[in-house]
Chains A and B, each alone.
Chain A
Amino acid sequence: MRMTGADIIIKALRDHGVEIVFGYPGGAVLPIYDAIFKQNDIRHILVRQEGGAVHAAEGYARSTGKVGVALVTSGPGATNAVTGLTDALLDSIPLVCLSGQVPTHLIGNDAFQECDTTGITRPCTKHNYLVKNTEDLARVIHEAFHIAANGRPGPVVIDVPKDVQLNEGSYIAPSMVEFPHYQPKTVGEDGLIARAVEIMADAERPIFYTGGGVINSGARASAALRKLLKLTGYPVTSTLMGLGAVPSNDPQYLGMVGMHGSYESNLAMYHCDVMINIGARFDDRVTGKLSEFSPKSKKIHVDIDASSINKTVAVDIPVIGDAGTVLEQMLKAWQAKNHKPDKQALDKWWAQINQWRAKKCFGYRKSDTVIKPQYALERLRELTRDRDVYFTTEVGQHQMWAAQFLDLQEPHHWMTSGGLGTMGYGLPAAIGTQLAHPGSLVVDIAGEASIMMNIQEISTAVQHRLPIKVFILNNQWMGMVRQWQELIHGGRYSHSYTAALPDFVKLAEAFGGVGLRAEKPADLDGVIADMLKTDRPTLVDVCVDEKENCFPMIPGGRAHYEILLGPDQDISSATPDEGLVLV
């Protein structure tokens, strides 16, 4: 079938089941926009900046498990997409990003809106293409979807020069394209699984440490994990990216692990004798001081990406495979051998964990006069308990409090920028999530600094009638920066105060949305109720305690057992000198 490159793109997207494309037009993508104009199958969501398009595609992908699609023009369109692509690479989010390029005869001439897109995006994508011939276009798009979604998911860029969009070429269906050279291993090696399960059965102080890989693997992975937890009775902790795989209120769940994770999860990671890592990558935010990371444990590591194995932490049993498949294999192996956990040892371990739990590490000083950010999140949690709610976040203190205080019951309901830590992620991600789940409640937990980074996307939500809620914990500071300056830099608050904040209520109204404000603890429930009543995009300005810090905290360069519980502890010497260099 002969058709123009632009039509090939539309047909290929349709054949991959793409319903929504997030994008922004420009000179080098006009033929594609013309093809979009002439059809009704694929909905285009016009964003306000290309960075918003990529984050929205991330939110869509993360909340559905499907590949998200963005469309940007050449030059600044592509460079604006770079942050989102890097974000997707670090958090393993499947994306296909189509970018326009100047016509092939102008490439390399410093033409208007030309940049070396494949060169710029090479280190921030899983793979990228420059398509120089319309005949290659269909095959490349099919490959891109295959690569984005298989193995460890990630972003793929397809750079399409304008003449390639206008020229004719033949279309081939996805089923006609084979991928002999990219078939990642999904099934774990049986021998390794048998050994892993034996080590698990012999454990006296076990812990499951689960990550984003469980979410990426799909609902089936979470289901298998929950079964395995029930069967073993072992405690489980999760990374920031893995939240929702296990319900937050499951008695075996110890809360999030890492720098702002729970006291009990961090101490259990330190003292365990067997660690079962499923789809997490021993990130520095989790391990703390590497030389003192879980020194007494045998480590089992399940990951689909062989390069995650032994990258920072040497492990005993590496299993390369898909989290869901391997968890199911583990379940089978456990049952086949009729393994039973060591009841006596496990009781003792739980007794120890319960002692740590009794510290109630997420406690905070309540107040009648000023809204504590933790209290605001507790009220939001309680008042949305019976709703199908998806949370996105920006980056900073509010993000950590959200991870600590919200109630996540299912995978794919928590969209946050974990690896890259991108302020400005949450609002566009909420837009993508809301489009994927039109009937659900979508709340972006934000800070007043983060929200300003992509505030223009409120306009996108208004245009497309997306009833997203932005819940701003407004303390007037870049809270996490201020916290580090307080703890580590002698209270010299260099440029972490925003002196000229907008009036968020008026701002919301100016965009055509709804603005609400809570100033006192007594206002909160009413304001949240109003927020839930409206079916329009809403900004909620929650004026919270300026001075509140996020605890527990493992300062940079410290080990898990050196976790600080709260402001009453001596924090002046929180970070050792060698920790100052850490971020």
Chain B
Amino acid sequence: MTNFSDPTHQRHVFSVLVSDEPGVLARVIGLFSGRGYNIESLAVANVDAEAGLSRITIVSTGTPMILEQIEAQLNRIVPVRKVVDITREGPTIERETALVKVKGDGPQRMEALKVAEAAGAVSRDASPEAFVFEITGTPGGIDGFVGLMRPLGLIEVVRSGVLGLSRGAKSA
């Protein structure tokens, strides 16, 4: 239910540290669907195998009251160890990786390669008919790159979801 036309809606990145146990992702996702919160992006992976911890990065939107509720509701989930609304905490760094497959030949193919190089994307697979580019950047930067590739034969995109950390020495 993203509603960017509503000026009271803001976009926040939540960093959620969880015990790495069965069903924990389902608990987090179920909370969002059950209470009608939006998930714009989701990224999950184990971050400390020894301690059994995974980190879930969730991008959501809502009014300040809803965003406060999201944080409080996440904290109610028993295997959730720590929740940080990193957008509220201060300046953040947000990165996302995408793999972009572009099909074409002749001048269009050369143009795709040129644009990709200019955008800082790397070709991870090149065949006579297609490229697979890897690009890492801000979510907006990736949107822009995908937009540029569309007329140049874009056939498939996969994105990692946003990863976020707060800037500086502070740990979330």
Residue ranges of A at the interface with B (Cβ–Cβ < 8 Å): 118-119, 122-123, 126-127, 130, 147, 152, 181-182, 305-307, 309-311, 314
Residues of A within 8 A of B27 (CB): 122
Nearest-neighbour CB distance to chain B for A107, whole angstroms, equals 11
The docked-state distance in angstroms from the alpha carbon of A152 to that of B73 is: 13
Nearest-neighbour CB distance to chain A for B48, whole angstroms, equals 14
Given contacts A122-B23, A181-B81, A182-B78, contact A307 B72 (CB under 8 A): yes
The docked-state distance in angstroms from the alpha carbon of A202 to that of B119 is: 63
Q: Are B73 and A307 in touch, CB under 8 angstroms? A: yes
Say what secondary structure dominates the interface of chain B: helix
Interface contacts beyond A119-B26, A122-B30, A307-B76: sample of 14 additional A-B pairs, CB < 8 Å, sorted by A: A119-B23, A122-B26, A123-B30, A123-B34, A130-B22, A181-B78, A306-B72, A307-B69, A307-B72, A307-B73, A307-B75, A310-B65, A310-B69, A311-B72
Residue B68 interfacial (CB < 8 Å): yes
The docked-state distance in angstroms from the alpha carbon of A511 to that of B22 is: 45
The docked-state distance in angstroms from the alpha carbon of A499 to that of B75 is: 49
The docked-state distance in angstroms from the alpha carbon of A130 to that of B34 is: 22
The docked-state distance in angstroms from the alpha carbon of A119 to that of B23 is: 8
Nearest-neighbour CB distance to chain B for A310, whole angstroms, equals 6
Nearest-neighbour CB distance to chain A for B73, whole angstroms, equals 5
The docked-state distance in angstroms from the alpha carbon of A127 to that of B27 is: 9
Q: Are B69 and A311 in touch, CB under 8 angstroms? A: yes
Q: How many residues of B contact A (CB 8 A)?
A: 17
Residue B46 interfacial (CB < 8 Å): no
User: In the complex, what residue of chain A is closest to B22 when comparing beta carbons?
Assistant: A130
User: In the complex, what residue of chain B is closest to A118 when comparing beta carbons?
Assistant: B23
Residues of B within 8 A of A305 (CB): 76
Residue B19 interfacial (CB < 8 Å): yes
The docked-state distance in angstroms from the alpha carbon of A118 to that of B79 is: 15
The docked-state distance in angstroms from the alpha carbon of A118 to that of B78 is: 14
Which of B19, B30, B69, B78 is in CB contact (< 8 Å) with A147? B78
Nearest-neighbour CB distance to chain A for B24, whole angstroms, equals 10
The docked-state distance in angstroms from the alpha carbon of A173 to that of B72 is: 33
Q: Are A181 and B19 in touch, CB under 8 angstroms? A: yes
The 7 A-B pairs of least Cβ separation, nearest first, read: A307-B72, A127-B78, A306-B72, A307-B73, A123-B34, A307-B76, A123-B30
Nearest-neighbour CB distance to chain B for A215, whole angstroms, equals 20
Nearest-neighbour CB distance to chain B for A405, whole angstroms, equals 36
Nearest-neighbour CB distance to chain A for B33, whole angstroms, equals 9
Nearest-neighbour CB distance to chain A for B63, whole angstroms, equals 11
The docked-state distance in angstroms from the alpha carbon of A496 to that of B51 is: 57
Residues of B within 8 A of A311 (CB): 69, 72
The docked-state distance in angstroms from the alpha carbon of A181 to that of B75 is: 11
Q: Are A309 and B72 in touch, CB under 8 angstroms? A: yes
The docked-state distance in angstroms from the alpha carbon of A307 to that of B78 is: 14
Q: Are A314 and B65 in touch, CB under 8 angstroms? A: yes
User: In the complex, what residue of chain A is closest to B26 when comparing beta carbons?
Assistant: A122
B20-52 toward A: CB 8 Å interface, digit per residue (1/0)? 001100110010001000000000000000000
The docked-state distance in angstroms from the alpha carbon of A126 to that of B79 is: 11
User: In the complex, what residue of chain A is closest to B64 when comparing beta carbons?
Assistant: A310
Residues of B within 8 A of A307 (CB): 69, 72-73, 75-76
Nearest-neighbour CB distance to chain A for B30, whole angstroms, equals 6
The docked-state distance in angstroms from the alpha carbon of A147 to that of B80 is: 14
The docked-state distance in angstroms from the alpha carbon of A51 to that of B107 is: 70
User: In the complex, what residue of chain A is closest to B33 when comparing beta carbons?
Assistant: A123
Residues of A within 8 A of B76 (CB): 152, 305-307
User: In the complex, what residue of chain B is closest to A313 when comparing beta carbons?
Assistant: B65
User: In the complex, what residue of chain A is closest to B69 when comparing beta carbons?
Assistant: A311
Residues of A within 8 A of B69 (CB): 307, 310-311
Residues of A within 8 A of B78 (CB): 126-127, 147, 181-182
The docked-state distance in angstroms from the alpha carbon of A64 to that of B127 is: 73
User: In the complex, what residue of chain A is closest to B73 when comparing beta carbons?
Assistant: A307
Residues of A within 8 A of B79 (CB): 181
The docked-state distance in angstroms from the alpha carbon of A305 to that of B76 is: 8
